[in-house]
Protein backbone atom coordinates (compact mmCIF):
# COMPACT_ATOMS: atom_id res chain seq x y z
CA UNK A 1 0.00 0.00 0.00
CA UNK A 2 1.65 3.26 -1.04
CA UNK A 3 2.09 5.98 1.55
CA UNK A 4 0.73 9.55 1.31
CA UNK A 5 2.30 12.00 -1.13
CA UNK A 6 5.46 13.74 0.00
CA UNK A 7 5.08 17.37 1.21
CA UNK A 8 5.67 20.08 -1.40
CA UNK A 9 9.22 21.41 -1.65
CA UNK A 10 10.14 24.29 0.61
CA UNK A 11 9.70 27.67 -1.05
CA UNK A 12 12.60 30.02 -1.68
CA UNK A 13 13.91 31.76 1.39
CA UNK A 14 15.32 28.70 3.14
CA UNK A 15 12.18 27.67 4.99
CA UNK A 16 12.28 23.93 5.74
CA UNK A 17 9.68 21.46 6.90
CA UNK A 18 11.15 19.92 10.09
CA UNK A 19 8.57 17.11 10.29
CA UNK A 20 8.48 16.11 6.63
CA UNK A 21 10.34 12.82 7.12
CA UNK A 22 8.06 11.63 9.88
CA UNK A 23 4.90 12.30 7.91
CA UNK A 24 5.93 10.21 4.89
CA UNK A 25 4.92 6.90 6.53
CA UNK A 26 1.39 5.93 7.35
CA UNK A 27 0.97 4.92 11.01
CA UNK A 28 0.39 1.23 11.75
CA UNK A 29 -3.21 1.70 12.79
CA UNK A 30 -4.14 3.54 9.61
CA UNK A 31 -2.44 0.90 7.44
CA UNK A 32 -4.31 -1.88 9.20
CA UNK A 33 -7.59 0.01 9.02
CA UNK A 34 -7.14 0.51 5.30
CA UNK A 35 -6.50 -3.23 4.83
CA UNK A 36 -9.59 -4.10 6.89
CA UNK A 37 -11.74 -1.71 4.87
CA UNK A 38 -10.47 -3.05 1.55
CA UNK A 39 -10.99 -6.67 2.58
CA UNK A 40 -14.42 -5.99 4.01
CA UNK A 41 -15.53 -4.25 0.82
CA UNK A 42 -17.77 -1.19 0.67
CA UNK A 43 -19.89 -0.47 3.68
CA UNK A 44 -23.65 -0.54 3.54
CA UNK A 45 -25.29 2.21 1.44
CA UNK A 46 -26.32 5.16 3.56
CA UNK A 47 -23.87 4.15 6.28
CA UNK A 48 -20.48 4.28 4.64
CA UNK A 49 -21.11 7.74 3.21
CA UNK A 50 -23.60 10.32 4.31
CA UNK A 51 -24.36 10.93 0.63
CA UNK A 52 -27.72 11.99 -0.70
CA UNK A 53 -29.14 10.63 -3.93
CA UNK A 54 -26.81 11.53 -6.78
CA UNK A 55 -27.80 14.55 -8.82
CA UNK A 56 -26.69 12.98 -12.10
CA UNK A 57 -29.17 10.11 -11.92
CA UNK A 58 -27.02 7.47 -10.25
CA UNK A 59 -28.71 5.27 -7.69
CA UNK A 60 -28.30 5.82 -3.97
CA UNK A 61 -26.33 2.57 -3.79
CA UNK A 62 -23.91 3.71 -6.50
CA UNK A 63 -23.52 7.07 -4.79
CA UNK A 64 -22.88 5.41 -1.44
CA UNK A 65 -19.85 3.63 -2.88
CA UNK A 66 -18.18 6.76 -4.20
CA UNK A 67 -15.00 8.33 -2.99
CA UNK A 68 -16.11 11.78 -1.94
CA UNK A 69 -12.71 13.49 -2.14
CA UNK A 70 -9.07 12.47 -2.76
CA UNK A 71 -7.91 10.13 0.00
CA UNK A 72 -11.41 9.48 1.37
CA UNK A 73 -11.92 6.00 2.87
CA UNK A 74 -15.64 5.13 3.26
CA UNK A 75 -16.31 3.38 6.57
CA UNK A 76 -19.28 2.04 8.48
CA UNK A 77 -20.24 3.20 12.00
CA UNK A 78 -18.66 0.03 13.43
CA UNK A 79 -15.44 0.61 11.56
CA UNK A 80 -15.40 4.22 12.75
CA UNK A 81 -15.93 3.05 16.33
CA UNK A 82 -12.97 0.67 16.09
CA UNK A 83 -10.79 3.37 14.58
CA UNK A 84 -11.89 5.84 17.26
CA UNK A 85 -11.06 3.41 20.08
CA UNK A 86 -7.66 2.52 18.66
CA UNK A 87 -6.66 6.08 17.86
CA UNK A 88 -7.83 7.28 21.30
CA UNK A 89 -5.60 4.72 23.04
CA UNK A 90 -2.62 5.64 20.88
CA UNK A 91 -3.21 9.38 21.37
CA UNK A 92 -3.40 8.94 25.15
CA UNK A 93 -0.21 6.89 25.12
CA UNK A 94 1.60 9.48 22.99
CA UNK A 95 -0.21 12.85 22.79
CA UNK A 96 2.24 14.00 20.10
CA UNK A 97 0.96 11.38 17.67
CA UNK A 98 -0.83 13.96 15.54
CA UNK A 99 -1.86 11.27 13.08
CA UNK A 100 -3.83 9.41 15.77
CA UNK A 101 -5.34 12.64 17.07
CA UNK A 102 -6.44 13.38 13.50
CA UNK A 103 -8.16 9.99 13.09
CA UNK A 104 -9.87 10.43 16.47
CA UNK A 105 -11.19 13.83 15.45
CA UNK A 106 -12.62 12.53 12.19
CA UNK A 107 -14.27 9.41 13.59
CA UNK A 108 -15.94 11.15 16.55
CA UNK A 109 -16.91 14.51 15.03
CA UNK A 110 -20.19 13.51 13.39
CA UNK A 111 -22.24 15.91 15.55
CA UNK A 112 -19.76 18.73 16.13
CA UNK A 113 -18.61 19.17 12.53
CA UNK A 114 -22.09 19.96 11.11
CA UNK A 115 -22.55 22.53 13.89
CA UNK A 116 -19.25 24.17 13.01
CA UNK A 117 -20.17 24.16 9.32
CA UNK A 118 -23.48 25.86 10.12
CA UNK A 119 -21.70 28.52 12.20
CA UNK A 120 -19.49 29.25 9.22
CA UNK A 121 -22.40 29.37 6.79
CA UNK A 122 -24.24 31.85 9.01
CA UNK A 123 -21.28 34.24 9.25
CA UNK A 124 -20.22 36.44 6.30
CA UNK A 125 -16.48 35.81 6.71
CA UNK A 126 -16.97 32.12 7.53
CA UNK A 127 -19.23 31.70 4.50
CA UNK A 128 -16.54 33.15 2.23
CA UNK A 129 -14.03 30.71 3.69
CA UNK A 130 -16.36 27.80 2.88
CA UNK A 131 -16.84 29.09 -0.65
CA UNK A 132 -13.19 29.88 -1.43
CA UNK A 133 -11.61 27.11 0.69
CA UNK A 134 -8.20 28.65 1.39
CA UNK A 135 -5.38 26.41 2.59
CA UNK A 136 -2.55 27.20 5.00
CA UNK A 137 0.47 25.37 3.62
CA UNK A 138 4.06 26.27 2.84
CA UNK A 139 3.03 26.27 -0.81
CA UNK A 140 0.38 28.94 -0.16
CA UNK A 141 2.29 31.12 2.30
CA UNK A 142 4.78 33.82 1.33
CA UNK A 143 7.10 33.27 4.28
CA UNK A 144 9.47 36.10 3.28
CA UNK A 145 6.57 38.55 3.22
CA UNK A 146 5.24 37.37 6.58
CA UNK A 147 8.70 37.63 8.14
CA UNK A 148 8.91 41.21 6.87
CA UNK A 149 5.64 42.36 8.46
CA UNK A 150 5.75 44.73 11.47
CA UNK A 151 6.43 43.35 14.92
CA UNK A 152 3.21 42.43 16.68
CA UNK A 153 1.25 41.76 13.48
CA UNK A 154 -0.57 38.45 13.12
CA UNK A 155 1.61 37.30 10.22
CA UNK A 156 4.93 38.16 11.90
CA UNK A 157 3.91 36.55 15.21
CA UNK A 158 2.65 33.44 13.41
CA UNK A 159 6.03 32.98 11.69
CA UNK A 160 7.77 33.60 15.01
CA UNK A 161 5.66 30.86 16.58
CA UNK A 162 6.58 28.41 13.81
CA UNK A 163 10.27 29.23 14.14
CA UNK A 164 10.42 29.18 17.94
CA UNK A 165 8.56 25.87 18.22
CA UNK A 166 10.10 24.29 15.11
CA UNK A 167 6.76 23.34 13.59
CA UNK A 168 5.44 23.49 10.05
CA UNK A 169 1.95 23.98 8.60
CA UNK A 170 2.66 21.06 6.27
CA UNK A 171 2.34 18.49 9.08
CA UNK A 172 -1.47 18.64 9.14
CA UNK A 173 -2.85 15.38 7.74
CA UNK A 174 -5.59 15.49 5.11
CA UNK A 175 -8.96 14.01 6.20
CA UNK A 176 -9.76 10.40 5.32
CA UNK A 177 -12.77 9.21 7.31
CA UNK A 178 -15.20 12.17 7.16
CA UNK A 179 -18.11 11.07 4.95
CA UNK A 180 -19.01 14.51 3.65
CA UNK A 181 -16.81 16.57 1.36
CA UNK A 182 -17.75 19.92 2.91
CA UNK A 183 -17.30 18.67 6.46
CA UNK A 184 -13.93 17.25 5.44
CA UNK A 185 -12.85 20.79 4.56
CA UNK A 186 -14.15 22.09 7.91
CA UNK A 187 -11.92 19.69 9.87
CA UNK A 188 -9.03 20.39 7.51
CA UNK A 189 -9.45 24.11 8.17
CA UNK A 190 -9.60 23.46 11.92
CA UNK A 191 -6.29 21.61 11.75
CA UNK A 192 -4.57 24.25 9.64
CA UNK A 193 -5.54 27.14 11.94
CA UNK A 194 -4.53 25.24 15.09
CA UNK A 195 -1.10 26.89 15.13
CA UNK A 196 -2.82 30.25 14.77
CA UNK A 197 -4.75 29.42 17.92
CA UNK A 198 -1.44 28.89 19.69
CA UNK A 199 -0.32 32.26 18.36
CA UNK A 200 -3.48 34.08 19.42
CA UNK A 201 -3.51 32.48 22.85
CA UNK A 202 0.23 32.92 23.36
CA UNK A 203 0.74 29.23 24.12
CA UNK A 204 3.83 27.16 23.17
CA UNK A 205 3.66 23.58 21.89
CA UNK A 206 4.76 21.93 25.15
CA UNK A 207 2.24 19.73 26.96
CA UNK A 208 0.92 22.52 29.17
CA UNK A 209 0.41 24.84 26.22
CA UNK A 210 -1.32 22.13 24.18
CA UNK A 211 -3.73 21.37 27.02
CA UNK A 212 -4.65 25.04 27.37
CA UNK A 213 -5.33 25.34 23.64
CA UNK A 214 -7.41 22.14 23.77
CA UNK A 215 -9.58 23.63 26.52
CA UNK A 216 -10.20 26.70 24.38
CA UNK A 217 -10.95 24.58 21.31
CA UNK A 218 -13.19 22.21 23.25
CA UNK A 219 -15.38 25.12 24.37
CA UNK A 220 -15.40 26.59 20.86
CA UNK A 221 -15.97 23.44 18.79
CA UNK A 222 -17.48 20.72 20.97
CA UNK A 223 -15.26 18.18 19.17
CA UNK A 224 -14.90 15.06 21.37
CA UNK A 225 -11.23 14.88 20.41
CA UNK A 226 -10.66 18.32 21.96
CA UNK A 227 -12.65 17.39 25.06
CA UNK A 228 -10.59 14.23 25.56
CA UNK A 229 -7.35 16.13 25.05
CA UNK A 230 -8.39 18.76 27.57
CA UNK A 231 -9.49 16.14 30.12
CA UNK A 232 -6.66 13.61 29.83
CA UNK A 233 -3.76 15.76 28.66
CA UNK A 234 -2.95 16.99 32.20
CA UNK A 235 -2.16 13.47 33.48
CA UNK A 236 1.44 13.90 32.28
CA UNK A 237 1.95 17.26 33.99
CA UNK A 238 3.84 17.83 37.22
CA UNK A 239 2.00 18.86 40.38
CA UNK A 240 3.29 22.43 40.05
CA UNK A 241 2.06 22.75 36.47
CA UNK A 242 -1.26 21.17 37.37
CA UNK A 243 -1.79 23.84 39.99
CA UNK A 244 -1.05 26.62 37.51
CA UNK A 245 -3.32 24.94 34.96
CA UNK A 246 -6.24 24.53 37.36
CA UNK A 247 -6.05 27.92 39.04
CA UNK A 248 -4.97 30.22 36.22
CA UNK A 249 -4.93 28.79 32.71
CA UNK A 250 -8.06 26.62 32.48
CA UNK A 251 -10.42 29.28 33.91
CA UNK A 252 -8.93 31.81 31.43
CA UNK A 253 -9.22 29.39 28.49
CA UNK A 254 -12.85 28.58 29.35
CA UNK A 255 -13.81 32.25 29.73
CA UNK A 256 -12.07 33.15 26.50
CA UNK A 257 -13.61 30.22 24.66
CA UNK A 258 -17.10 31.21 25.75
CA UNK A 259 -16.60 34.90 25.09
CA UNK A 260 -14.78 34.61 21.77
CA UNK A 261 -16.43 34.49 18.36
CA UNK A 262 -15.91 31.24 16.43
CA UNK A 263 -12.27 31.08 15.42
CA UNK A 264 -13.15 29.32 12.16
CA UNK A 265 -14.93 32.48 11.01
CA UNK A 266 -11.72 34.47 10.72
CA UNK A 267 -10.13 34.70 7.25
CA UNK A 268 -6.60 34.76 8.64
CA UNK A 269 -4.96 34.92 5.22
CA UNK A 270 -6.51 38.37 4.73
CA UNK A 271 -5.52 39.61 8.19
CA UNK A 272 -1.77 39.02 8.30
CA UNK A 273 -1.12 42.75 8.66
CA UNK A 274 -3.60 43.18 11.53
CA UNK A 275 -2.02 43.67 14.97
CA UNK A 276 -2.32 40.50 17.02
CA UNK A 277 -3.72 42.36 20.00
CA UNK A 278 -6.36 44.01 17.81
CA UNK A 279 -7.52 40.61 16.52
CA UNK A 280 -7.67 39.22 20.06
CA UNK A 281 -9.89 42.10 21.12
CA UNK A 282 -12.07 41.74 18.03
CA UNK A 283 -12.59 38.03 18.70
CA UNK A 284 -13.13 38.47 22.43
CA UNK A 285 -10.04 36.62 23.70
CA UNK A 286 -9.06 37.90 27.15
CA UNK A 287 -5.39 38.78 27.88
CA UNK A 288 -3.52 35.62 28.95
CA UNK A 289 -2.50 35.26 32.60
CA UNK A 290 0.97 36.45 33.50
CA UNK A 291 2.33 32.97 34.23
CA UNK A 292 5.19 30.99 32.74
CA UNK A 293 3.89 28.21 30.45
Rounded CA-CA distance 230/134 in Å is 28
Mean pLDDT confidence for 129-136? 97
The conformational region for residue 11 under phi > 0 = left, psi -120 to 50 = alpha, else beta, is beta
Give the mean pLDDT of the chain: 83
Q: To 10 degrees, the CA torsion angle through 168, 173, 178, 182?
A: 50
Of the CA atoms within 13 Å of residue 115, those in its CB half-sphere come to 10
Higher pLDDT: 162 or 97? It is 162
CA 168 to chain centre: 13
Question: How sure is the predictor about 32, in pLDDT bands with cuts at 50, 70 and 90?
Answer: low
Query: Is residue 78 scored above 80 in pLDDT?
Result: yes
In a 3-state reduction of DSSP, which class is residue 153? strand
Amino acid sequence: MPGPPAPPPAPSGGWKDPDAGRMRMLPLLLRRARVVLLRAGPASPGKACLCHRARDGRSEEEEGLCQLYPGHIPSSPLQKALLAAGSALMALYDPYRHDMVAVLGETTGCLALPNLRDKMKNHPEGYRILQERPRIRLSTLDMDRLQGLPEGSLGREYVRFLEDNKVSPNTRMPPKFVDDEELAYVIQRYREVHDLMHTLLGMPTNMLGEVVVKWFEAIQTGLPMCVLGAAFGPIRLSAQKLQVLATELVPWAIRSGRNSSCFLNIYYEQRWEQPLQSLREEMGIFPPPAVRV
